[in-house]
Amino acid sequence: MYYEKLSAQELEREYASLKRQYENEKGRGLSLNMARGKPGSEQLDLSNGLLDILSSKSSCIGSDGQDLRNYGILQGIDECRKLFGDMLGVDADKVMVGGSSSLNMMFDTVSCMMTKPIAEGCKPWYEVENRKFLCPVPGYDRHFAITQYYGFEMIPIPMSEDGPDMDMVEKLVNSDPSVRGIWCVPKYSNPQGITYSDETVRRFAALKPAAEDFRIFWDNAYCIHDVTDNPETLLNIYDECVKTGNEDLPLLFCSTSKITFPGAGVAAMAASDNNMKVLMERYKYQIISYDKLNMLRHVKYFGDFNGMLEHMKKHKKVLKPKFDIVLNTLERELVPVGVGKWTKPNGGYFVSVDVYEGTAKRVVALCGEAGVVLTGAGATYPLGIDPKDSNIRIAPTFPPNDELQTAVDVFCICVKLAALEKMLDK
Amino acid sequence: MYYEKLSAQELEREYASLKRQYENEKGRGLSLNMARGKPGSEQLDLSNGLLDILSSKSSCIGSDGQDLRNYGILQGIDECRKLFGDMLGVDADKVMVGGSSSLNMMFDTVSCMMTKPIAEGCKPWYEVENRKFLCPVPGYDRHFAITQYYGFEMIPIPMSEDGPDMDMVEKLVNSDPSVRGIWCVPKYSNPQGITYSDETVRRFAALKPAAEDFRIFWDNAYCIHDVTDNPETLLNIYDECVKTGNEDLPLLFCSTSKITFPGAGVAAMAASDNNMKVLMERYKYQIISYDKLNMLRHVKYFGDFNGMLEHMKKHKKVLKPKFDIVLNTLERELVPVGVGKWTKPNGGYFVSVDVYEGTAKRVVALCGEAGVVLTGAGATYPLGIDPKDSNIRIAPTFPPNDELQTAVDVFCICVKLAALEKMLDK
């Protein structure tokens, strides 16, 4: 019963039937949320042991003999730099461990470059008129928001199965000196769950930017966040950039927000010595030292990077059924009618659904009226403008499984209903 | 034996004697530190219970029903906003609880105003040529460093027993539109331990700044940090500013860095609705939420503000003997020879010593050679330039008492030796 093959009369009949289903769901007084990429409470419980790991009887003396309860060690404790170095694929001495938020470290990094040049002879970005930033779409709304706040023109770069359209990236970066950066979630991208291909990573490493201070913001937020038994691998961008003599190009970020506790985890970044020098020159004025006791908690809890990988298997066990609920329901409800396309991610936090063109806003509104909160339509595009009004980000992690099933059922009804409204010009 | 009354011959004899004492100390291979305002380990132990307060069996549900292990509540949990509101003397709804560092919140605030106007119709500070900031001296080097980093001309304002020279502050602030802010540590100031008088606070509240976006950075770092049984009180600047219709003037900061664990405590700021609106507009892009579990730990540990005040009595018990060691030794060694002046603080973290003019750098160097590390001479002045080369900040809190006694003994020898070198033109 492909909608496109139905007669007007058949469409009307289907519309009437769906409308009844929708009104029925609406009458149930639902209050469900598939909006934000928040871990569910079962996931949070996995890390509760972190709260026991330090006690008044613990030694808080770090590996270098310093009392971690006191000021000091601006770049983070060595044990924790090693942990994040292993996570990001770089030596520990390239790592700075910050507060609890990698988003904050990205914000600080952009903020730094706004008023201080990252490379000698360059202007602070504040003084760069028509400064531009590349934004792979669909992408992460909070990335785009930072460059929006700082007055960048944001250029959408379409995503393919291999990552951002590298022909477009190369053309823009290598020819336009006003292009100063690009946002990347290179593994299990937000929201599509796409892992950049080796070829894509190599092309990033081989960029020859027109602007000397062009930087790749490589937010490896989901680097160990598999949700199926088919884990994907990402080529090491830093190693590739060393090979091309471009080690100043990438700035790497990650955190334990979706490993332990969002907001109460630990965040880190890695960068070349040149980049780190400029950033540390800022950090030394910004703060005396970050929360080393929380770093110590994480180091003690995981032991090492392998311990972290083991921990992630527990998350996978919780998350796989949730992704299955979403994907199976989409398959069952939408494939037969030929409406919608979506990715089937092996990791990350989202399912990215492209609904019938021109109906994403309507789908979100219909869901909202029926008590199912979705991420706003357009949120995955700079300035919230999805030119096709088609992409919706589904976040399956937070609701309990039964609520998630109901929410996706409602979502599918709304996707079909909105498509029929459009086809029937209602 | 006032040095000034001694003959050249007597001075030479004293010099020779001190030189022997100094060489003797130097030979002991000391390694002592009176440089930074770090709590000692006995103080840190006072808060070890904080590490037991949350466990895997604790409820982490906040007063509003949200799971504090997850994202959310950007402005900080209500319970903690109340605690800091009481500390800063404002309603909880004026408070934002940030990460672990009030310095970071001050940096972020200046950083915010560099690129976004805090008041309508004003320019971002980046665009203000010849932007100036007032710096009461002696003062806190890390304050000055922030405005140095952001390219402000820093104007030293002499401190009196009542606080900054308000004639000078009024004249500059009310007439010069390029003056955009002032750094204040209004209670038990760093380094002198001076509490601003009621009159001084009222004059601050009554300022009529030439620049609409002039702001008072009111760093109440030592608001409850008594070290004697003669606690001082500070007039509530926010209340005074409300009375004068100037509630947008002050930005209040504090933290638990010197109450619980430096770097692993909780920091907060308070501001008028107008100011907070601009700052929150930045914070919402900067971070999703700060570490609410650490907020919860602090709230549970103290119960309320009174619990915090009780806790501070334990700090006082540890600190009073340390301040006594410094002050008694200075009294015994320096008063008889008529060299040096210093404050006798009732709170805070420092003793500010003015040594013989033109010898502060030499004293610090002499101490360093003898294994006693002091805060660099000049550190208490913008750009590290003390025009009289006279002020030295002594931080008595970190060393154990016996080491502190030795360190101050060496310090007094060096103060006298440097004075004699100067008098004898050596």
pTM of the model: 0.97
CB proximity under 8 Å: B 64-83 to A: 67-72
What integer pLDDT is reported at residue A43 of this predicted model? 98
Residue of A nearest to B76 (CA): A263
Residues of A in contact with B47 (CB under 8 A): 69
* CB nearest to B285's CB, from A47, A100, A146: A146
Q: A115 to chain B nearest CA, in Å?
A: 8
Q: What are the residue ranges spanned by the domains of chain A? A: 3-44+316-423, 61-303
Tell whether the model's pLDDT for residue B239 goes beyond 90: yes
The pLDDT score that the predictor gives to residue B179 is 98
Contact assignment for A261 to B293 by CB distance below 8 Å? yes
Confidence of residue B295 (pLDDT cuts 50, 70, 90): very high
CB atoms within 10 A of CB B385: 11
Which superfamily is assigned to B3-44+309-423 in CATH? Aspartate Aminotransferase, domain 1 (3.90.1150.10)
Distance CA A327, CA A334 (A): 10
Measured between beta carbons, the chain B residues lying within 8 angstroms of A71 are 36, 38, 257, 262-263
Residues A59-91 have pLDDT tens digits of 999 998 999 999 999 999 999 999 999 999 999
CB B71, CB A36: distance < 8 Å:
yes
B51 touches chain A (CB under 8 A): yes
- CB < 8 Å from B in window 199-218 of A: none
pLDDT, residue B1, reads 78
User: Alpha carbon of B366 to those of A158, A325, A375, B146, B289: distances in Å?
Assistant: 65, 73, 64, 30, 48
Chain B residues in contact with A38 by the CB 8 A cut-off are 70-72
B415 CB burial (10 A radius; 0-12, 13-18, 19+): buried
Q: Distance of CA B405 to CAs A232, A344, B349, B363, Å?
A: 62, 69, 17, 17
147-176 in chain A: CB under 8 A from chain B: 148-150
B293 → chain A, closest CA residue: A264
Which residues of chain B have a CB within 8 Å of the CB of A290?
Answer: 99-101, 263
Quote the CA–CA distance of B378 and B388 in Å, as a whole number.
9
A328 contact B CB<8A: no
Give the whole-number percent of chain A exceeding pLDDT 90. 98
CATH no., domain A3-44+316-423: 3.90.1150.10
Please list every residue in chain B whose beta carbon sits closer than 8 Å to the beta carbon of residue A148.
Answer: 285
- Residue of chain B minimizing CA distance to A66: B41
Distance, in Å, from the CA atom of B185 to the CA atom of B103, rounded to the nearest integer, reads 12
The pLDDT of residue A1 is above 90: no
Coil, strand or helix: which one is A421?
Answer: helix
pLDDT (average), residues A368-382: 96
Specify whether the CB–CB gap between B2 and B379 falls below 8 A.
no
Site from A55, A71, A80 to mutate, B interface, most B CB atoms within 10 angstroms: A71
Would you call A58 an interface residue with chain B, using a CB distance cutoff of 8 Å?
Answer: yes
Q: Which residue of A has its CA nearest to B289?
A: A263
- For residue B264, the chain A residues in CB contact (below 8 A) are 68-69, 291-294
Q: Residue A212 CA to chain centroid, in angstroms? A: 27
In chain B, which residue's Cα lies nearest the Cα of A146? B285
Which of A67, A150, A282 is closest, CB to CB, to B44?
A67
Helices (DSSP H) in A99-177: which residue ranges? Answer: 102-115, 141-149, 166-175
A-proximal residues of B, 92-151, CB under 8 Å = 99-101, 103-104, 107-108, 111, 114-115, 126, 142, 145-146, 148-150
Count of CB contacts below 8 A, A vs B?
154
CA trace torsion B293, B295, B299, B305 (10° rounding)? 170
pLDDT per position as a tens digit, A279-332: 999 999 999 999 999 999 999 999 999 999 999 999 999 999 999 999 999 999
Distances (CA, A) of A154 to A162, A182, A377: 21, 9, 18
Hey, are the CB atoms on B288 and A101 less than 8 Å from each other? Answer: yes
Does residue A20 sit in helix, strand or coil? helix
Q: Which fold has domain B61-303?
A: Aspartate Aminotransferase; domain 2 (3.40.640)
Inter-chain residue contact B107 with A287, CB threshold 8 Å: yes
pLDDT in the model for residue B255 = 98
Contacts of B119 (CB under 8 A, 6+ apart): B212, B213, B248, B274
Q: Do A288 and B103 touch (CB under 8 A)?
A: yes
Between strands A132-137 and A179-184, the pairing is parallel
Exposed e or buried b per residue across B61-76, where buried means at least 16 C-beta atoms within 10 angstroms of its C-beta: ebeeeebbbbbbbbbb
Residue spans of beta strands (DSSP E) within A165-261: 179-184, 215-219, 250-255
Q: Read off the pLDDT of each residue in A234-262 and give the average, rounded to a whole number.
A: 98
DSSP track, A30-84: --EEE-S-PPPHHHHHTTGGGGTS--TTS--B-TTS-BTTSS--TT--HHHHHHH
Dist. CA A48–CA A290, nearest whole Å: 22
Average pLDDT over chain B reads: 97
Beta-carbon separation of A69 and B261 below 8 A: yes
Average confidence (pLDDT) over B138-143? 97
Instruction: Report the distance separating Cα A77 and Cα A93, nearest Å.
Output: 11
Nearest to A38 among B54, B71, B290 (CB): B71
Q: State how far residue A72 is from chain B, nearest Cα, in angstroms.
A: 8
